[in-house]
């Protein structure tokens, strides 16, 4: 092999090493992100606008390739929302040698964040090939508490009826929602559930009805919490504001005498007066509810509870003097 041939064969390797050496020397770390909104600890709506910029005043590279936003629940640490922008899809990129290159300006959709909750927003972005280290930043914030009436603003509750249980049963179930605030059916992601709108779903004012099989239906509620009734309670799960939802009715009608009762060991309880899963229920002076525990007495009437979380244990002092219904099904 002559000298000229050896030089030609070696040239690609020399060029590659030269390129890596040059790009490595020129590589800069990503410009640090800074949140413009929300501010740390700020109290915001459940549909806040997340806005962040990159501080380009230092010796850094704002040449963004991909930017990601994550929203995590502060107490549980669970991720409740995420999104991603790529170059050419709404992301501001390029070199701007003044502070404030826009990284993200994104409004969180309704139904993703709950009321009176703490969250952490994390912005992270990667740069182009041969660039330096990626960058990230976070900010903690809280959402406003629930409203007591329909103000035309943020939804006060979210409802998801999931027919995933129907995959192991026969056919799913019809459902009815009524008696509360204005309802708005949605499609997409609601409280981490994929929900859709089918032709057999109907929603008007404070009334909605439909059917779930292997999928899920989702609603925003603007105002008071409505009644939710399932034709076949065992064929679907109900989630309210992201928590699994159940109903418990203790009926002292058509029985001899009455009985004391205790509910405990499950989710948070709210006693109901009016109608619950087709039962007329009332609240008496001897009924006592605190957290996930309730005590009372039924005789010739019915007591009803909404449960946010696991089904509680129901203990009757005189078991033959009352009938217990969980999610509309006699126990």
The per-residue pLDDT for 233 is 77
> pTM for the full model?
0.52
Tell me how many degrees the CA angle 234-237-243 measures, rounded to the nearest 5. Answer: 145
When mean pLDDT is compared over 82-86, 135-139, 293-297, the highest value belongs to 293-297
Count the Cβ atoms, other than its own, within 10 Å of residue 272.
21
Six token digits for residue 31? 């410009």
When mean pLDDT is compared over 15-24, 54-63, 93-102, 266-275, the highest value belongs to 266-275
312 secondary structure, DSSP code:
P
The per-residue pLDDT for 21 is 39
CA–CA gap between residue 329 and residue 17 (Å, rounded): 73
Percent of the chain with pLDDT over 90: 15
The per-residue pLDDT for 109 is 86
Look at residue 23 and give its three-state secondary structure: helix
The per-residue pLDDT for 261 is 94
The per-residue pLDDT for 168 is 53
Mean pLDDT across the stretch 58-74?
Answer: 78
Predicted confidence band at 314 (pLDDT cuts at 50, 70, 90)? very high
163 secondary structure, DSSP code:
-
> How many CA atoms lie less than 13 Å away from 156 in the CB half-sphere?
17
The per-residue pLDDT for 286 is 83
Q: Per residue in 161-172, pLDDT tens?
A: 998 764 555 678
Six token digits for residue 186? 């949605």
- Asked if 277 contacts 246 with a C-beta cutoff of 8 angstroms, the reply is no
Look at residue 184 and give its three-state secondary structure: strand
The per-residue pLDDT for 223 is 84
- Average pLDDT over all residues of the chain: 77
The per-residue pLDDT for 120 is 92
Residue 183 has pLDDT above 80, yes or no: yes
Longest Cα–Cα distance of the chain, Å, equals: 111
The per-residue pLDDT for 27 is 60
CA–CA gap between residue 188 and residue 169 (Å, rounded): 25
Six token digits for residue 293? 């525990």
Residue 118 has pLDDT above 80, yes or no: yes
Tell me how many degrees the CA angle 281-272-172 measures, rounded to the nearest 5. Answer: 85
Which of 12-26, 62-76, 214-228 comes out lowest in average pLDDT? Answer: 12-26
| Straight-line distance from the first to the last Cα atom of the chain, in angstroms, rounded to the nearest whole number | 91
Mean pLDDT across the stretch 41-49?
Answer: 80
The per-residue pLDDT for 100 is 52
- Asked if 2 contacts 14 with a C-beta cutoff of 8 angstroms, the reply is no
- Residue 166 phi/psi, 5-degree rounding, is -65, -20
Mean pLDDT across the stretch 191-217?
Answer: 87
Residue among 139, 155, 59, 64 at smallest CA distance from 101: 64
């Amino acid at each position: 092999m002559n000298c000229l041939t050896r030089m030609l064969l070696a040239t690609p390797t020399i060029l590659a090493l030269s390129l890596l050496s040059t790009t490595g020397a020129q590589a800069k770390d990503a410009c640090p992100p800074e949140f413009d909104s929300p501010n740390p600890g700020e109290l915001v709506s459940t549909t806040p606008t997340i806005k962040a910029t990159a501080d380009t005043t230092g010796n850094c590279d704002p040449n963004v390739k991909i930017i990601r936003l994550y929203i995590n629940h502060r107490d549980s640490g669970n991720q409740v929302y995420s999104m991603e922008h790529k170059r050419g899809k709404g992301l501001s990129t390029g070199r701007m040698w003044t502070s404030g290159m826009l990284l993200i300006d994104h409004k969180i959709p309704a139904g993703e964040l709950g009321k009176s909750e703490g969250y952490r927003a994390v912005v992270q972005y990667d740069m182009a090939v041969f660039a330096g280290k990626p960058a990230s930043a976070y900010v903690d914030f809280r959402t406003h508490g629930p409203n007591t009436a329909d103000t035309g603003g943020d939804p006060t509750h979210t409802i998801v009826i999931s027919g995933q249980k129907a995959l192991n049963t026969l056919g799913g179930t019809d459902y009815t929602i009524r008696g509360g605030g204005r309802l708005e059916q949605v499609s997409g992601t609601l409280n981490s559930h994929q929900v859709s709108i089918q032709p057999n779903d109907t929603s008007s004012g404070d009334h909605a009805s439909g059917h779930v099989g292997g999928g899920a239906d989702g609603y925003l509620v603007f105002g008071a919490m409505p009644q939710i009734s399932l034709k076949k309670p065992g064929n679907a799960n109900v989630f309210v504001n992201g928590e699994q939802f159940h109903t418990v009715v203790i009926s002292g009608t058509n029985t001899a005498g009455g009985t004391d009762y205790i509910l405990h060991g499950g989710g948070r309880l709210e006693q109901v007066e009016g109608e619950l899963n087709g039962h007329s229920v009332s609240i008496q002076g001897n009924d006592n509810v605190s957290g996930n525990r309730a005590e009372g007495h039924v005789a010739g009437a019915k007591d009803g509870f909404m449960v946010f979380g696991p089904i509680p244990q129901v203990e009757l002092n005189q078991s033959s003097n009352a009938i217990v219904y969980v999610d509309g099904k006699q126990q």
